[in-house]
A and B are shown apart, each in its own frame.
Chain A
């Protein structure tokens, strides 16, 4: 098990919060909460050790495509593949928009 922290630049704090997913095999839990203006802070607790670079690449690719609102993202990962992680993050953003 490993705890990783990431930071990206962001816009204004998001409104509301969201939770999607489950800490089940090959899945993950994503929690979104309003963050500090200008900062997207991500904390990942993952069952897979040595996966820092993979998470970094994934977030970089996702968050360079679009300006994100300021969020604190908390992830509990149980061996999800990058595709599943991306789907869950997008689902969480949608849930936030619906909130």
Chain B
């Protein structure tokens, strides 16, 4: 066995996967050790009033974990979405938990407590069973991000396997910094929705390499649409989150550089379908 192989095996054995963690474990793992304090915890039993009416079993925390704590000793709030419950969809309760946490963090900043925020995004977007209430909550999350990011960084982390879609992909785009793994996907519409609208010839949602080549973490990073691309290792992710917080508030958030992106999209020739490499060069102005 070569030394490189031995090194790889040693690293694999030591590596702690972040993707394999549940939402609560993720939130706990990224806050400073021992600082995790959950707000509206599952024993408070604030659950969706709409799911049982439609014959769907609720989860005690509505799939959203909100926790206060510290990151590098600084006050922080973490909101983690549980992708395994209803595809991480956001309804009235879960959405309000995230929006409320971000709004309170902005209030704290105005009172002189410099609270930062970390969003662990694993969501298909709005919970269709809660329709407008979910959409309203997502709109509140988006405006809360824009409010809070002027004081302290709001970091979005998409680890996978669900990815981040729908209105929450817009919320991700509003974050001060966005962090992804190879397993992550980021897109406005999910693959099945696009397939249904565009046809299977144009977009086959079961073709995983194709889907990831267009919306996967690596592609989004190469296209300059995220700020960091990390391996699925808890230590590495934790360090990367801390180093982004250290950078402080960005001079100009990506969402405020819309003119730059629009200029490129206007120049786009959409007569033939783009492939991954063309998208990268469109956003970077050079071949990858």
Contact = CB atoms under 8 A, between A and B. Distances in A.
Interface of A: 1, 17, 19, 22-25, 27, 29, 31, 33, 45-47, 74, 76-78
B109 interface: no
B85 A22 contact: yes
Given A23-B85, A31-B43, A1 B60 contact: no
Interface stretch (B49-57, B139-147, B225-233): B49-57
B43 A76 contact: no
Q: Which 10 A-B pairs have the closest CB atoms?
A: A24-B84, A23-B59, A1-B55, A22-B84, A47-B57, A23-B85, A76-B57, A45-B57, A19-B42, A23-B57
A22 B43 contact: no
Given A23-B85, A31-B43, A77-B57, 6 more contacts: A17-B43, A19-B42, A22-B82, A23-B59, A24-B85, A25-B84
Contacts of A1: 52, 55-57
Nearest to A77: B57
Contacts of B60: 19, 29, 31, 74, 76
Contact of A76 (B22, B58, B82, B84): B58
Contact of A19 (B43, B52, B56): B43
A24 B86 CA distance: 7
Contacts of A31: 42-43, 60
Contacts of B43: 17, 19, 31, 33
B55 A29 contact: no
B129 to A, nearest CB: 13
B95 to A, nearest CB: 17
Interface string B246-258: 0000000000000
Give chain B's interface secondary structure class.
loop
B9 to A, nearest CB: 29
Contacts of B58: 23, 45, 76
A17 B42 CA distance: 11
Contacts of B82: 22
A82 B63 CA distance: 23
Contacts of A46: 57
Nearest to A3: B52
Contacts of A45: 57-58
Interface string B86-108: 10000000000000000000000
Contact of B84 (A17, A27, A74): A27
A91 B181 CA distance: 30
B23 to A, nearest CB: 8
A22 B63 CA distance: 9
A26 to B, nearest CB: 10
Question: In this complex, which of A19, A24, A33, A74 has the most chain B Cβ atoms within 10 angstroms of its Cβ?
Answer: A24
6 contacts: A22-B85, A31-B43, A31-B60, A33-B43, A45-B57, A76-B60
Interface in B3-33: 22
A23 B22 CA distance: 12
A78 B22 contact: no
A33 B56 CA distance: 24
Nearest to A48: B57
Contact of A78 (B42, B55, B57): B57
